[in-house]
Amino acid sequence: AQSVTQPDIHITVSEGASLELRCNYSYGATPYLFWYVQSPGQGLQLLLKYFSGDTLVQGIKGFEAEFKRSQSSFNLRKPSVHWSDAAEYFCAVGARSNDYKLSFGAGTTVTVRA
């Protein structure tokens, strides 16, 4: 079965500082990996996805993520955070063999301080 772990429940970062959110997955075959962002009271928005190819993927809002097969990780990064990046971030893993269902991590809440 596929599963996702986000080790950090809550991260606080200063505006303008860099941000890295960790994601570790467990899956036997090649995973399809995603990062979503959720602002309070809103639905989830897809930030970026990895299916195959270049292991460094670019997403919206200046985010990027790197797939590292050897570490079973798909960490999300942003070089310089803005106050509007305060939100909850979810990592997810999916597979065609699992009826296209996604397994989500528990989420990491990001607080941005001025």
Partner 1 sequence: SQTIHQWPATLVQPVGSPLSLECTVEGTSNPNLYWYRQAAGRGLQLLFYSIGIDQISSEVPQNLSASRPQDRQFILSSKKLLLSDSGFYLCAWSVLLEQYFGPGTRLTVT
Q: Which residues bind partner 1 (CB under 8 A)?
A: 32, 34, 36, 41-46, 49, 51, 90, 94-96, 99-102, 104-107
In the bound complex, what is the minimum distance in angstroms from residue 86's beta carbon to partner 1? 16
If you write DSSP's letter for every residue of 28-78 in order, what string do you get?
Answer: SS--EEEEEEE-TTS-EEEEEEE-SS-SEEE-GGG-EEEEEGGGTEEEEEE
Nearer residue to partner 1 within complex by CB, 75 or 104: 104
In the bound complex, what is the minimum distance in angstroms from residue 87's beta carbon to partner 1? 14
